[in-house]
Amino acid sequence: MAKELRVELVAVEERVFTGTAELVSARTTEGELGVLPGHAPMLGQLAEPGQVRIKQAGGNEIVYDVSGGFVSVTGEGVTVLAESCAPATADAKH
């Protein structure tokens, strides 16, 4: 079984997603960030506007439009703290 990341996506007023993933990607002010299991700990500021992509086992991908906030990578997984968050629209191109 492949290793997975523990992922939490939290907006100001609610926890939007909690689960596991094979890959989490987000656009930060430093560039595109892809996080796989075993990634070095880091803290990044989310770029605006941006998206967070959560690729789950089996290939299912969940995409959220986010505004403001941070992404934190630790040995435990990935936490995204966003000022606002909504499921991405099907026609969004990022």
pLDDT tens track, the chain, 94 positions: 458 999 999 998 899 999 999 999 999 999 999 999 999 999 999 999 899 999 999 899 999 999 999 999 998 899 999 999 999 986 544 4
pLDDT at 92: 47
Establish how many alpha carbons lie within 13 A of residue 70's alpha carbon, considering only the half-sphere containing its beta carbon. Answer: 5
Residue 65 is which amino acid?
Answer: D
CATH number of 5-87: 2.60.15.10
Q: Distances from the Cα of 52 to the Cαs of 1, 47, in angstroms? A: 24, 10
Q: Are strands 5-11 and 15-21 parallel, antiparallel or unpaired?
A: antiparallel
Quick one: DSSP state of residue 49?
A: S
Task: Find, among 57, 62, 32, the residue nearest to 46 by Cα.
Answer: 32
